[in-house]
């Protein structure tokens, strides 16, 4: 993976910011689902290429929304 790729860097910054928001929200609300979603998105933003990172983060956002909507 090319760590100096502009697309990778921008995707990491954007998804890392969203992931930290999810993590902080879960921490303050004492809710494990958003906090774990933030941790998964942080891992994805560090390990995956830009396209797969974006798709994985969108899947995590959808999964967190679905789990919270169904009362978990």
Question: pLDDT tens digits for 2-58?
Answer: 778 888 888 888 998 999 999 999 999 999 999 999 999 988 888 888 888 889 999
Q: What is the pLDDT of residue 61?
A: 93
Q: What is the pLDDT of residue 1?
A: 66
Q: What is the pLDDT of residue 21?
A: 93
Q: What is the DSSP letter of 49?
A: -
Contact 35, 68 (CB under 8 A): no
C-alpha 24/C-alpha 20 separation (Å) is 6
Q: What is the pLDDT of residue 8?
A: 86
Give the residue-averaged pLDDT of 56-63: 93
């Amino acid at each position: 993976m090319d760590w100096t790729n502009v697309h990778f860097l921008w995707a990491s910054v954007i998804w890392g910011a969203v992931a930290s928001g999810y993590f902080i929200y879960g921490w303050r609300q004492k809710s494990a689902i958003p906090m774990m979603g933030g941790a998964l998105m942080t891992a994805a933003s560090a390990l995956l290429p830009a396209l797969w990172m974006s798709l994985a983060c969108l899947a995590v956002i959808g999964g967190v929304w679905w789990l919270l909507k169904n009362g978990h």
